[in-house]
Amino acid sequence: MDTRACLAVACLLACNVDARAGDAAAGGKVFATECAECHSVREGKDKKGPSLYGVVNAKAAQRAGFAYSDALRASGLAWTPENLATYLADPRKLVPGGKMKYDGLPDAGRRDDLIAYLQAVAKP
């Protein structure tokens, strides 16, 4: 790794910046087209899917009163940015037997934007 790359990594670590940082404004558009039909980002407002308010770094399947799949409840996952990115790419691969009806978001940049948006709209 060259000196500039080492400095960039050191800066990210020192500044506690997520290395997969995306564009939250662009992520809002991704949310609107890919997620909003089934999810809300308002605290306590579930739709077909649970509210995603405060989801980043939260334990999976923890919203009281929402009927999660047995597979998601048993997964032991926390929704870290990395786990969210993996899940959003292919939900059935990370949580076989889950009930989210979504084929996945193949574009890594759009996933990063979406995760940045979820981080920006609600910090638990």
Q: In angstroms, rounded to a whole number, what is the distance separating the alpha carbons of residues 58 and 55?
A: 5
In a domain, 43, yes or no: yes
Name the DSSP letter for residue 48. S
d(CA 4, CA 15) in angstroms, rounded, equals 16
| 26 found inside a domain | yes
pLDDT tens across 67-124, in order? Answer: 999 999 999 999 999 999 999 999 999 999 999 999 999 999 999 999 999 999 976 4
- Domain membership of residue 75 as a residue range: 21-121
CATH of the domain at 53: 1.10.760.10
Please give the Cα distance from 35 to 13 (Å, whole number).
Answer: 31
74 part of a folded domain: yes
pTM to 2 decimal places: 0.81
Give the chain's domain count: 1
Structure tokens, 87: 């899940």
Q: Is residue 58 situated within a structural domain? A: yes
pLDDT (tens digit, 9 = 90+) per residue, 102-117? 999 999 999 999 999 9
Q: How far apart are CA 38 and CA 9, in angstroms?
A: 37
